[in-house]
Amino acid sequence: MTEHDKKTSDDTTHFGYETVEKSKKASKVAEVFHSVAAKYDVMNDLMSFGVHRIWKRYTIERAAARPGQTILDIAGGTGDLTAKFSKIVGSTGKVVLADINESMLKVGRNKLVDNGIVGNVEYVQANAECLPFPDNYFDRITIAFGLRNVTEKEKALQSMYRILKPGGKLLVLEFSKPALPALSKVYDVYSFSLLPAMGKVVANDSESYKYLAESIRMHPDQETLKQMMSDAGFDEVEYTNLTGGIVALHIGKKF
């Protein structure tokens, strides 16, 4: 590899199946989520046949949060995890819903306020690669279906490690690689044919859902992400496949 080739590869990343400059990926992802924000909850239910609620409930259980703790929900979007954590940590605890996308943050804040979830929730527009919080600050950090959209995943994991308290946990809930070949084939047909079609009908946006399907395929598989978390400093990293590996929950601790 020549120095020019190395520079080119170092300066580019994937946006779905498209190769783009790293400096442009965040804005392109932002366009996607500005577009889908208003219909995000409806599409989540349709896309997963409601199963995303079970995946998130399992994540909450494995977090084992307690009253009085401080929790960060990165890429928190419309606030599903934040709402549940808010009830668990109570008035002596705090939940920070962070999202890089202003539209998603606004939808999430409005939804939680409308549901009476106020008082112990804060909202921060933030990039996961450079989280604006002190060292050793949070008891739990979650990122659900957000890591695959981050440009520099290694930087994001290092940033999460820095702000996690010793004794704390990071939980990464993300689409992953189906464990069975037969399931992979069915999943491919669903992702690249039905998903964009649903996006077109429900959200009048097939291209954003085409990107979302491609971004899932470009995300590191279970073992690769486990190693990335270990490389970022996390201890006792483990993962659990959900729905045959279509989704995986990775957990890392900080000692």
72's tokens: 């960060």
Report the alpha-carbon distance of residue 252 to residue 161 in Å, rounded.
Answer: 9
Helix (H, G, I), strand (E, B) or coil at 165: strand
Residue 204 marked ligand-binding: no
> Which of 21, 20, 54, 33 has its CA nearest to residue 199?
33
Strand partners, 242: 247
Q: Is 213 annotated as a binding residue?
A: no
Give the Cα separation of 2 and 149 in Å (integer). 29
Residue from 22, 217, 221, 252 nearest 129 by CA:
22
The reply to whether 92 sits in an annotated binding site is: no
Consult the annotation and say whether 128 binds a ligand: yes
Q: In this structure, which amino acid lies at residue 43?
A: M
132, 107 Cβ separation under 8 angstroms: no
Extract the annotated binding site for S-adenosyl-L-methionine.
78, 99, 127-128
Extract the annotated binding site.
78, 99, 127-128
